[in-house]
Amino acid sequence: MKSLEELTELYETQLKPQLLSMEQLRKSIFIRFILSFLGILAAIFVAAALSQGNMAIIIAAVALIIACIVVIVKTAKMERQYRTQFKQNVVGEIVKQIDPGWNYEPNYYMPQDDYRSSGLFRQKVDRYKGDDMVYGVVDKTDFRMSELHTEYKTITVDDKGKAKETWHTIFKGLFAHADFNKELKGQTYVLPDTAERIFGKWGQKLQRGNVHGDLVKLENPEFEKLFVVYGSDQIEARYILTPGMMEAMVDIRKRYDREMYFSFVGSRVYVAMSFSKNLFEPRIIRSGVRFKDVKQMYYQFSLVTAIIDEMNLNTRIWTKD
């Protein structure tokens, strides 16, 4: 993993010139959007307040609204072009700097079968989307990672009988899995311990009885403040969650300061890290020339190396049966 000094040099010599070359396009997109929306609002105001049945004013207002809509459509096309350039010239370059052997597919994402195989989120998914797929090998360990957003919908009916559809987020953030090099017989789930954090000792009672299996109690106070463990096999769960493994998971959780979910299923370790915003998208309303944004993306993509290194997945202390 590059040092902060190396990342700064990369930004100044390669990424910043790329961002500066795209800055005029970004400004043009932003200004066109603003002027178009203002034009539509002005046309609506004039038609409502000043026309007084004057067809000429009404026709002029409608013509202005149509012209503004045409500009918005064309500007949206420019925005997609800007996004493509940003993904290729900036995000792709960041991935390459972490490891030249990694593959980056900006418009692809984790297959839904992988998401289901993790067993982390049991809510039925009604909408599944994502982007920024990265996959490759770190030393001996293969991995796959992407941004994901999964949702379910509810439909309610108001007093007038009108149905309203509402979408609810199940998970939004980075989702990854890597080779654990051991064919596991059971399933072990390490989830955020929100109950104990909110309710203290009383929260421990809420932990019992979970769709992920039986509660597994471990002897690491710091680990148990952050996580709660469920599994189908108590012995195997303790076999996986060694003192070193628990310490590694605590370190990763503290380093990224995000809610994290882990599962050990089959021969894979699955990891999900929650984020409330889209991670690798260009911002239109502000300058794209910001080292802070590049640094943040670099560390987010480095999640998989942190997992593999901290969990010692390359040491191959286990062998597959």
- pLDDT (tens place) for every residue of the chain, 321 residues total: 567 778 888 888 888 888 888 888 889 999 988 988 888 888 888 777 665 666 777 778 788 888 889 989 999 999 999 899 899 888 998 888 888 899 999 999 999 999 999 999 999 999 999 999 999 998 888 999 999 999 999 998 887 778 889 999 999 999 999 998 888 999 999 999 874 443 345 445 444 556 888 898 888 889 988 999 999 999 999 989 988 889 988 998 988 888 999 999 999 999 999 998 888 888 888 888 888 888 888 888 888 888 888 887 876 555 554
Instruction: Give the domain extent around 117.
Output: 4-183+266-315
Determine the pLDDT at residue 140: 85
Asked whether the beta carbons of 313 and 307 are under 8 A apart, the reply is yes
Q: Render the burial of 93-129: b for 16+ CB within 10 Å, e for the rest.
A: ebbebbbeebebebeebbeeebbeebbbbeeeeeebe
The reply to whether 125 falls in a domain is: yes
* Nearest alpha-carbon partner for 15 in 106, 89, 97: 89
**CA–CA separation, 116 and 95 (whole Å):** 26
Determine the pLDDT at residue 148: 96
The reply to whether 193 falls in a domain is: no
The reply to whether 230 falls in a domain is: no
Determine the pLDDT at residue 157: 85
- Total domains in the chain come to 1
The reply to whether 112 falls in a domain is: yes
**How far apart, in Å, are the Cα atoms of 122 and each of 42, 116, 131, 148, 184?**
49, 8, 22, 15, 20
The reply to whether 233 falls in a domain is: no
The reply to whether 306 falls in a domain is: yes
Asked whether the beta carbons of 106 and 129 are under 8 A apart, the reply is no
Q: Which helix (H) or strand (E) holds 163?
A: strand 163-179
The reply to whether 155 falls in a domain is: yes
The reply to whether 188 falls in a domain is: no
**CA–CA separation, 296 and 65 (whole Å):** 40
Determine the pLDDT at residue 308: 85
**CA–CA separation, 95 and 84 (whole Å):** 15
